[in-house]
Amino acid sequence: MGVSTPSPAPSGRSEELAAAGAIPAVSARSIWVDLLVYPTHSLPTAAQPVLVGLGLAVHFGVLSPWPALVGLFGSWVIHVAGLFTDNHELLRLHPKLPEHPELVHAVETGALRLATLRLAVVGCLLLALATAPYLYRIGGAPVLAFGVLGIVTSLSYNGGPWAYARRGQADPLFVLMFGVVGVVGTYFIQAAAVQGAPQPWRLLASLPLPVYLVGLPVGALVTAVLLVDDLRDHEFDRVKGWRTGAVLHGPGFNRVEIASLVAFAYLAPLGSWLLLGLGPWMLLPLASAPMAAGALRTLFTVRERVRLIPLTPRMAAVGLVYAALLGLALALAPR
């Protein structure tokens, strides 16, 4: 169920040093943890649909945290495999492009090797595969389908013949994967653990309608983070020949798209209350609206790339808080 999000941008200080032609040496730990695995971003991103799935499981009486957490681990390592693949392709195809100057410098000095990145991708996929027997015993063939879908979409973000990020096709896929597939998968494995799944496809088809719909605003906010990165990196993306919205239609289009996704996320709780009958607790995620408003204010007032870099973790924090509040709202909502 994992999907790769864009690799982290360098710090503003690193970018200034890159412009001056002076990149400081970076430790191996910093290369792998801070720049490649990026756990402060990748783990919360993978956790957001799981938080919603846990809330749904409480609401419908099928809470089983351990299978959900094992699924989260599998999803996260697939997500990290996608990050490694993204960086591998950027460094392989554009070795002199200073989009991530610390990584370029690490490759030039031999501190990072592309072959090692490829091995890291394989290692992540093996870790994900290690969760498959346990999850398969609980949920059957749908578990394998979720896993294969996650691997294909994660590695294909910027790898393989599809490489959908280069084609500007990532936006709808992110909404679908983080807003629907991740939530459904988390709920399904818990329902299968509690109720049993002798016919797993039938169980999947019989899940309550809210399981398929209430996570859409979370998918929208994860996609907004992607688009912030597209906005920040659109000049590099143009050089690479990518066809993102910011490249094709300009930064203004990108800003409007981000604002539209955020607006959808904060209107969606009304629909969950009034159309899905989940009650007024569904308005709880609106408590994160001031965070979102501050992020949007920065989005529309800041133009310099260096000053846009902190907006990515800010927008990601909005999504994480929103997902946590949505999960709590679902757990508290009367059935």
The pLDDT-based confidence of 26 (bands split at 50, 70, 90) is: confident
What is the sign, positive or negative, of the torsion defined by CA atoms of 190, 193, 194, 199?
Answer: positive
pLDDT reading at 179 higher than 80: yes
CA–chain centroid gap for 180, Å, is: 12
Residue 335 is predicted with a pLDDT of 86
Q: Which residue has the higher pLDDT, 101 or 26?
A: 101
Token readout for 78 is 């697939």
**Residues 203, 195 contacting (CB under 8 angstroms):** yes
Q: Provide the phi-psi class of 189: left if phi over 0, else alpha when psi is between -120 and 50, else beta.
A: alpha
Using one digit for the tens of pLDDT, what is the confidence trace for 207-257?
999 999 999 999 999 999 999 999 999 999 999 999 999 999 999 999 999
Residue 222 amino acid letter? V
Residue 15 is predicted with a pLDDT of 52
**Residues 158, 88 contacting (CB under 8 angstroms):** no
Using one digit for the tens of pLDDT, what is the confidence trace for 55-111?
999 999 999 999 999 999 999 999 999 999 999 999 999 999 988 899 999 999 999
**Residues 6, 226 contacting (CB under 8 angstroms):** yes
Token readout for 317 is 């924090």
**Residues 5, 83 contacting (CB under 8 angstroms):** yes
Q: How many helices (H) and strands (E) does the chain have?
A: 18, 0
Residue 270 is predicted with a pLDDT of 97
pLDDT reading at 316 higher than 70: yes
Q: Provide the phi-psi class of 208: left if phi over 0, else alpha when psi is between -120 and 50, else beta.
A: beta
Q: Say what the pTM is.
A: 0.93
- Residue 181 is given by DSSP the state I
